[in-house]
C-alpha cells in the first residue's frame, strides 16, 4: 500500500469516526503518522502502510495514581507519558467485592486485549490477584472482576462532557479515546501495572 493510499484510508476512517458523536475525537487530534500506527495496530493496514512513521517507545510498566486521576506510562522506572483517567463511581479505597464500584489498588498485569469491546478498545487488568481472592474468601464475598483500561462507551448513555469530568465506571480505568489508542499502542501483553490510592 502506498503512502497516498494509506493517507486516503486514514482520512476515510477519520471521517467515519467524526460522523459518530461518541467517536468524534478518536483521530481528530492525532497526527497522521499516529493515525497510521493506530490502523496498523487495529489490523486495518499492513505494517508496510506506516509510511515511515516511527513507533514511540513501549512502556515497561504502567502506574495509576487514583488520587491524581492519572495513568503514567513508565520506562526504566520513570514516567514518560501521562493521561487523565476516570475511575469507579466509588473511587476511594481498594476494590473488595463485586458491585462496590471501586477501582482496585495493588500490583497486577495487563493480561488481555479486546479491540471489539463495548468501549473503545479495552485492556484487561489481572484483578483479582491472590490477596484479593483471599480477602474475599475471608468475608464470603465475590471479589468481582472484568477490570479494564478502556476508552469511552461505544453507545454512550450520558452527555460527552460527563465522561470527561466525572468518575463513571463500575471499577475500571477509563481514558479518552485518543489517550486509549496511545496506551493500546504503547503497552504489550503482561506489562506490569501498579494502582496506587
Judge whether 25 lies within some domain: yes
Judge whether 73 lies within some domain: yes
Q: Give the pLDDT band of residue 160 (cuts 50, 70, 90).
A: confident
Residues 39 and 68 in one domain: no
Q: What are phi and psi of 111, to 5 degrees?
A: -115, 15
Residues 90 and 110 in one domain: yes
Which comes out higher in pLDDT, residue 121 or 1? 121
Residues contacting residue 20 through CB under 8 Å, at least 6 positions apart:
none
Which comes out higher in pLDDT, residue 27 or 166? 166
Q: Give the pLDDT band of residue 46 (cuts 50, 70, 90).
A: very low
Which residue has 478498545 as its cell numbers?
121
pLDDT the model gives residue 20: 47
pLDDT the model gives residue 47: 43
Residues 115 and 65 in one domain: yes
Judge whether 55 lies within some domain: no
Residues 144 and 77 in one domain: yes
Judge whether 56 lies within some domain: no
Other C-beta atoms closer than 10 Å to the C-beta of 84 total 14
pLDDT the model gives residue 40: 56
The total number of structural domains in the chain stands at: 2
Helix (H, G, I), strand (E, B) or coil at 187: coil
pLDDT the model gives residue 24: 43
Q: Is residue 21 predicted with pLDDT exceeding 50?
A: no
Mean of pLDDT over the chain: 82
How far apart (Å, rounded) are the C-alpha atoms in residues 43 and 115?
A: 10
Overall average pLDDT of the 163-182 stretch: 95
Which residue has 506506516 as its cell numbers?
50
Judge whether 95 lies within some domain: yes
How far apart (Å, rounded) are the C-alpha atoms in residues 140 and 8?
A: 56
Residues 116 and 167 in one domain: yes
Residues 84 and 174 in one domain: yes
Burial label for 192, CB within 10 Å (0-12, 13-18, 19+), is: middle
Residues 115 and 185 in one domain: yes
Over the stretch 50-95, which tens digit does the pLDDT of each residue have?
Answer: 444 566 789 999 999 999 999 999 999 999 999 999 999 998 999 9
Residues 105 and 150 in one domain: yes
Q: How far is CA 163 from the centre of its chain?
A: 14
Residues 119 and 164 in one domain: yes
pLDDT the model gives residue 45: 47
pLDDT the model gives residue 57: 86
Range of the domain at 116: 61-196
Residues 83 and 159 in one domain: yes
How far apart (Å, rounded) are the C-alpha atoms in residues 120 and 123?
A: 10
Overall average pLDDT of the 138-150 stretch: 93
CATH number for the domain including 120?
2.40.440.10
Judge whether 92 lies within some domain: yes
How does DSSP assign 64-130, residue by residue?
Answer: EEGGGTEEEEEETTEEEEEEE-B-BSS-SS---STTS-----EEEEEEEEETTSSBSSEEEE--S-H
How far apart (Å, rounded) are the C-alpha atoms in residues 56 and 85?
A: 21
- Total-model pTM: 0.75
Residues 67 and 24 in one domain: no
Size (the chain), residues = 197
Over the stretch 85-128, which tens digit does the pLDDT of each residue have?
Answer: 999 999 899 998 899 999 999 999 999 999 889 999 999 999 99
Judge whether 150 lies within some domain: yes
Residues 23 and 76 in one domain: no
Amino acid at each position: 500500500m502506498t503512502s497516498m493510499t494509506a493517507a486516503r484510508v486514514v482520512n476515510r476512517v477519520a471521517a467515519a469516526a467524526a460522523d459518530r458523536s461518541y467517536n468524534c475525537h478518536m483521530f481528530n487530534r492525532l497526527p497522521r503518522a499516529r493515525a497510521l500506527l493506530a490502523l496498523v495496530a487495529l489490523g486495518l493496514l499492513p505494517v508496510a502502510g506506516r509510511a515511515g512513521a516511527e513507533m514511540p517507545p513501549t512502556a515497561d510498566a504502567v502506574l495509576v495514581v487514583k488520587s491524581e486521576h492519572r495513568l503514567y506510562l513508565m520506562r526504566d522506572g520513570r514516567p514518560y507519558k501521562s493521561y487523565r483517567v476516570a475511575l469507579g463511581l466509588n473511587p476511594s479505597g481498594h476494590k473488595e467485592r463485586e458491585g462496590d464500584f471501586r477501582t482496585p489498588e495493588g500490583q497486577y498485569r495487563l493480561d488481555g486485549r479486546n479491540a471489539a469491546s463495548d468501549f473503545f478498545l479495552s485492556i484487561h487488568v489481572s484483578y483479582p490477584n491472590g490477596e484479593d481472592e483471599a480477602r474475599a474468601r475471608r468475608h464470603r464475598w465475590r471479589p468481582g472482576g472484568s477490570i479494564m483500561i478502556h476508552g469511552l462507551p461505544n453507545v454512550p448513555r450520558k452527555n460527552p462532557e460527563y465522561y470527561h469530568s466525572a468518575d463513571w465506571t463500575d471499577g475500571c480505568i477509563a481514558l479518552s479515546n485518543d489517550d486509549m489508542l496511545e496506551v493500546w499502542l504503547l503497552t504489550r501483553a503482561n506489562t506490569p501495572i501498579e494502582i496506587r490510592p
